[in-house]
Amino acid sequence: MEKIIDLHIHTTCSDGALSPKQVIDEAVKNGVDTIAIADHDTTAAYTEDLFNYAKEKGINLIPAVEISTKINKCGIHVLGYNFDLQNKELLNQLSLLRNARHDYLYNVSAKIKELGYKIDVESLDKIDAVTKAHIALDIVNNSENEELLIKTFGHIPDKGEFIETIMNENCPAYVKKATITPSEASKLIKKAGGKVVLAHPVAYKYEDNLTLDDIEKLIQDMQPLGIEGNYIYHDRNNNKINEVEFWNKFAQDHNLLSTIGSDFHKEDGIHTLIGLIGEELPTIDSQKILDILKNS
């Protein structure tokens, strides 16, 4: 029986709903063999205690991180695997990126308040790797914002719709955040002994209107080992888009590894579950993926 792996999961160390140990428990429940916790700009989940817990539960846990980067057109997420968790240069850069998130929080909150929304900046500032998702959730879940949200959107939006309508580039509360390029992130991961994968290229096609030429240029600049081809995308209206076959062929045509990830944040009855349980996927050689990420 083919092993089930999931190489892109978030925890409460960034913007996920489950703690690292709860993620392990969920992986066990779903029959998953190997996972990678890829929190935004932090490796805080990777403690000795967690590795021991994963071993006790029979879960193979591999080091990972999802680094937030920026190109002219949009934000790009770069996944790193099997790097040295103690690499000082990488850890220092991740710390700088997290600090930039807090500068961003204060700047974007000022614009959001000008639009009339209530936002709990004090609570958000306590989150180490605070993200747009944290900020948007704080706003859409606040009953004091209900009237303005309905006036603006016609309904209470989810966090994704709020971000894409209010916070992203060319939107009323857009703030440029200090960041690094995908190429710089790629070099950091490689210097730390890790393997580089371009996260969810399908998302850049639908969210940011990147063309295949744009993505090919990105790959040329980054020189990643692979792309996250086995990924189920959900748009702002929660429509499921399965282009796994296309992106697997793209990877093959460009001599890239095609990895697999749920990008799990929470179980909501809509988004992909840990292990991509219940999704339509091709036969995946999980062991080959793991071997390449480890040994190439």
In a domain, 230, yes or no: yes
Q: How many domains does the chain have?
A: 2
CB count, 10 Å around CB of 106? 12
Judgement on whether residues 34 and 99 belong to the same structural domain of the protein: no
Judgement on whether residues 282 and 190 belong to the same structural domain of the protein: yes
| The two structure tokens encoding residue 271 | 């988004």
In a domain, 109, yes or no: yes
Whole-number Å distance between alpha carbons of 67 and 285: 26
Judgement on whether residues 285 and 188 belong to the same structural domain of the protein: yes
pLDDT in tens, 40-64: 999 999 999 999 999 999 999 999 9
Residue 176's pLDDT is: 86
Which pLDDT band holds residue 65 (cuts at 50, 70, 90)?
very high
CATH code at 70?
3.20.20.140
Residue 1's pLDDT is: 57
The torsion angle over the Cα atoms of residues 222, 223, 226 and 229, rounded to 10 degrees, is 50
Which pLDDT band holds residue 97 (cuts at 50, 70, 90)?
very high
pLDDT (mean) for 81-97: 97
pLDDT in tens, 131-160: 999 999 999 999 999 999 999 999 999 998
In a domain, 175, yes or no: no
In a domain, 89, yes or no: no
**Domain range spanning residue 162?**
94-167
In a domain, 254, yes or no: yes
Whole-number Å distance between alpha carbons of 235 and 161: 9
Interacting residues of 136 by C-beta distance below 8 A, sequence separation 6+: 159, 160, 162, 163, 166, 167
Would you mind telling me the total number of residues written for the chain in this entry? 296
Select the more confidently predicted residue: 160 or 190: 190
Judgement on whether residues 196 and 69 belong to the same structural domain of the protein: yes
Judgement on whether residues 31 and 77 belong to the same structural domain of the protein: yes
| Global confidence as pTM | 0.88
Task: Examine the fold and report which residue of 167, 192, 226 is the final residue of a domain before the chain moves on.
Answer: 167
Residue 177's pLDDT is: 83
Judgement on whether residues 130 and 253 belong to the same structural domain of the protein: no
